[in-house]
Amino acid sequence: MVIIFVLLVFVLAQGFLSVALSSRDQALDRLNRQVAELAEMLALERGQGEELRANLGRMTEELRLAAAARDTALSQVSGLREERDRSAADREALRSERDRLAARLADLELSAGGAASRIASLEERLAEALSRAEAMGGNTAQVLRDLTEARRALAAERGALEAARAQLAETQARAGGAEQARDRTAAELAETRRQLAEAQQAMAALRQEMEALNRTVAADRATIEARLADIARLSQQVRQLAALRDEMERRAAEALARAGAEEAARAAAEQAARDEAGQRQRAEAAIRAAEAARQQAEALAARSDQARQQAEASAAQATQARQQAEAAGGEHARLAESARAQVALLTQQLATLRAELSRIAALLDAEEQSGRDKDAQISQLGQRLNAALAARVEELQRYRSDFFGRLREVLGDRPEIRTVGDRFVFQSEVLFPVGSAELSAAGQQQLRSLAQVLLDVSRRFPPDLAWVLRVDGHADRNPIRGGRFASNWELSAARAIAVAQLLINEGLPANRVAAAAFGENQPIDEGETPEALARNRRIELRLTDR
């Protein structure tokens, strides 16, 4: 029974191993297909990125030309403004000169009026002097002197009047020139204003074109940055998938090696089982032979009893014959001797059969004792294996408890971070913005603290302890509409990979971190309320073994 049980265990292990290898081969094929698809997408995105870079260069050149045109227009506008300022200054100077000339003209007109009145007064005085000269007669010299003085004064006044009139004419000529200059300046100012208006319109058009170009460039830059981010994310996913594929290949190789070792162990066990079966067959043959011998012995015993009875009957007959026929003594003695010899032979055969039966019984006892010893060894091996497994589980549980205890100390008692069984649960809103797989600043800080705790705790792990920190991504059941992700499964996968990548970047060994995604398929709350959906959007950390 033990051999059959061992064979059954090995057959089941071989079956499970075959199923595991087949599933791993299928997973490896899926990963290879995903890597190929991601490589194609990466090549396509790179082509689009090159095209966007060319567009960006072209738009940058156009923007540079527009900026140069804008600078030229600004310089023209600046020149026009300076010309306008100079024209305004000239206009103000002309206005001041006009006002000064008008004031001077008014003064000259007043002076001319005064001179005319003085000339009239002098003429009146001259007439009076002449009349007095005629009347007085004797005082002619004095009158002549007065007349001469009056004439000189009159000549001076007339000279002043002529000078004033000449200055007035000059002032009027200058005022006319100033008016003409003012008209020319006004015309030039109007032309300057028209050119300035046209320049301002051109400047506004250029500014609008520049703003449109800036918006286009900003949109293109945002698109390029988004594409570059997607390319970087896809490249990271390709590297992670390649690492995962290598890890799967390594695990498959280890599984094949273990399968080879188990196959060798199974072959050895089968050989031992065959040897055991041969021994059991020999024992069964010996038992059958012993049974046959026993039956033969019983038959011989029956025959010996029959012979003894016959001998006794023969002895009785011999005695009777000896009594009846003493004459036939020689024949009687011969028959008695023959009977004794036959009884002795039967007795010897019976002893031989009994010895054979004892030997067979001893062999059977030895086989049974060997079976009991092997059962005891198998039981001891099972107990030792169970004890070792229990010790490993207890050791891992102890380190897991230490790990979770340290995490509780670091993260504190927060409702959005919970411990559920052997899992540490982060609500997605703690780590990610809504609908995004990019870690927030607060989420990065939380995960860095977690990575430091795990690094500190893992230094106390035994080297042969096969521990793994598994990062599980979960989402709610609301379908995704638009955005970068086609499904909740892709969103949860991207978030799990982002958390795993940050932990690896913080120093955790890549072979100790595994990312998994479950989408909306493993909710912890079946409700439809916003609170229930929020509880289902989560990242779970699980410290487990391989």
Strand order across the beta sheet in which 467-474 lies? 417-420, 423-427, 538-545, 467-474, 513-519
Residue-wise pLDDT for 160-194, tens only, equals 767 767 776 776 677 666 567 667 766 776 776 78
Residue 469 belongs to a domain: yes
At 290 the pLDDT is 54
Q: What does the radius of gyration of the chain's CA atoms come to, in whole angstroms?
A: 64
CA-CA distance, 500 to 484, in Å (whole number)?
Answer: 20
User: Domain check: are 536 and 426 in the same one?
Assistant: yes
Query: CATH code at 418?
Result: 3.30.1330.60
DSSP state of 326: G
Contact predicate 539/471, CB 8 Å: yes
Domain count, the chain: 2
Residue 377 belongs to a domain: yes
At 457 the pLDDT is 81
Give the end of a domain, one of 339, 365, 394.
394
User: Domain check: are 428 and 532 in the same one?
Assistant: yes
For 121-148, letters b (16+ CB in 10 Å) and e give ebeebbeebeeebeeeeeeeeebeebbe
Residue 175 belongs to a domain: no
CA-CA distance, 125 to 171, in Å (whole number)?
Answer: 33
Portion of the chain with pLDDT greater than 90, in percent? 8
User: Domain check: are 418 and 507 in the same one?
Assistant: yes
**What's the pLDDT band for 197 if we cut at 50, 70, 90?**
confident
Q: Is 0.75 surpassed by the pTM of this model?
A: no
User: Domain check: are 440 and 517 in the same one?
Assistant: yes
Give the end of a domain, one of 363, 394, 425.
394
Best CA proximity match to 509, nearest among 474, 538, 469, 464: 469
Does 496 have pLDDT greater than 70?
A: yes
Residue-wise pLDDT for 334-386, tens only, equals 665 765 676 677 677 767 767 776 777 677 777 778 777 777 777 777 677 67
Question: How many other CB atoms are there within 10 angstroms of residue 266's CB atom?
Answer: 19
Return contacts of 435-441, CB within 8 angstroms, 24+ apart.
435/480, 435/483, 435/485, 435/491, 437/233, 437/484, 437/485, 437/491, 437/494, 437/495, 437/497, 437/498, 438/498, 439/498, 439/499, 439/502
Residue-wise pLDDT for 508-529, tens only, equals 999 999 999 999 999 988 888 9
User: Domain check: are 382 and 420 in the same one?
Assistant: no
Residue 199 belongs to a domain: no
At 539 the pLDDT is 93
Residue whose structure tokens are 């927030």: 440
Residue whose structure tokens are 């089982």: 273
- Output the furthest CA–CA distance in the chain (Å, rounded): 262
Contact predicate 478/533, CB 8 Å: yes
User: Domain check: are 492 and 444 in the same one?
Assistant: yes
Which amino acid, one-letter code, is at 163? A
Residue 447 belongs to a domain: yes
CA-CA distance, 220 to 228, in Å (whole number)?
Answer: 12
| Bigger pLDDT: 520 vs 402 | 520
At 45 the pLDDT is 72
Residue-wise pLDDT for 248-300, tens only, equals 667 656 655 665 666 666 666 567 656 666 666 765 665 676 566 566 656 65
At 259 the pLDDT is 55
User: Domain check: are 429 and 362 in the same one?
Assistant: no
User: Domain check: are 357 and 429 in the same one?
Assistant: no
Contact predicate 232/437, CB 8 Å: no
Give the end of a domain, one of 364, 394, 424.
394
CA-CA distance, 166 to 172, in Å (whole number)?
Answer: 10
Average confidence (pLDDT) over 461-484: 83
- Which residues partner with 515 through β-bridges? 471
Residue 487 belongs to a domain: yes
User: Domain check: are 428 and 528 in the same one?
Assistant: yes
User: Domain check: are 291 and 350 in the same one?
Assistant: yes
Residue 57 belongs to a domain: no
CA-CA distance, 35 to 235, in Å (whole number)?
Answer: 10
Residue 151 belongs to a domain: no
What is the 3 state secondary structure string of 395-438?
Answer: HHHHHHHHHHHHHHHHHCCCCCEEEECCEEEEEHHHHCCCCCCC
User: Domain check: are 438 and 540 in the same one?
Assistant: yes
Enclosing domain of residue 540: 413-545
CA-CA distance, 433 to 443, in Å (whole number)?
Answer: 10
